[in-house]
Amino acid sequence: MSETQKVVLITGCSAGGIGFALCEEFAARGCIVYATSRRLETMEGFQSPNIRKHTLDVTNGDDIERTVQTILAETGKIDILVNNAGGTAIGPVAEATIDQIRNTFELNTFAALRVSNAVIPSMFKRKEGLIVNIGSIVGLVTTPWNTLYCAAKAALHSISEGLAMECKPFGVKVMLIAPGGVTSNISKNQVATLKLSPTTAYKEYEPKIIERMKASQAPGSMDTNEFARQVVTQALSASPPPYLTLGHNSTLFYLLQWLPRQYALARMYKALIG
């Protein structure tokens, strides 16, 4: 690799998802990309020789440290970190178990901070670098039936904003992405595996829960490759923006966050409950 080539680490790169498309786009722009997922077989199909696949469990601190140190040993740097790994938590929050709550935050919030904390020292040492956190428009306005995910992404948004302020004196930038609907596999498997408790109070709302599960993949969702193109263009620019929202319904949610909270939440209730 040349000294001018950017080295990019991306989490959550399974085929058919946002992370996979980001890997291809960064690689197409000449970057060396480290694509990671819990299992190598989920990342089949990359076309670029600039993409290097590694296993990484973002909820395991030792695994994170091993991966980061391997990259630094091979390339001497990580220019851009993209914290993309995440997953929805469909179901009534009133019936969520502590394990479900903990797992949602581990994957969507704590993992991004763990990986960032492992990479930041090397960025501070070089006085440059970019951390890209993939949040969500539901981190702006809560929706029913996916409340844990909303809460975890809202926490990630706050962490991103604080991290940006604290990293600025050391030349490291933080970019928060709040996607709306983008075509991916995020809800495909959950439709088949969704199971409410046998004693649930929400059985009559199951169709609404399934509707919410599929919302991000509704007609009008942004093409994954177009999403990746726009994000990578901004990330590789001379001045990456601190915040970017794009995808289906992103403009709506951006506006809703500035309206009276009672109105925004009433709209969510009417659309997804009654």
Averaged over successive runs of 10 residues, the pLDDT of the chain (274 residues) comes to 89 96 98 98 96 98 98 98 95 95 97 98 98 98 96 98 98 98 71 76 94 85 97 98 97 96 97 92
pLDDT, position 175: 98
pLDDT, position 146: 94
pLDDT, position 274: 86
pLDDT, position 188: 57
Beta strands in the chain (DSSP E): 7-10, 32-37, 51-55, 80-83, 129-134, 172-179, 243-246
* The dihedral formed by the CA atoms of 260, 177, 83 and 182, expressed in degrees to the nearest 10: 100
Q: Name the residues annotated as catalytic.
A: 149, 153
pLDDT, position 3: 76
pLDDT, position 58: 98
**Residue 91 CB burial class (10 angstroms; 0-12, 13-18, ≥19):** buried
Write down all domains in the chain, each with its CATH number in brackets. Answer: 7-272 (3.40.50.720)
pLDDT, position 272: 94
Which pTM value belongs to this model? 0.95
Contact 52, 221 (CB under 8 A): no
pLDDT, position 191: 52
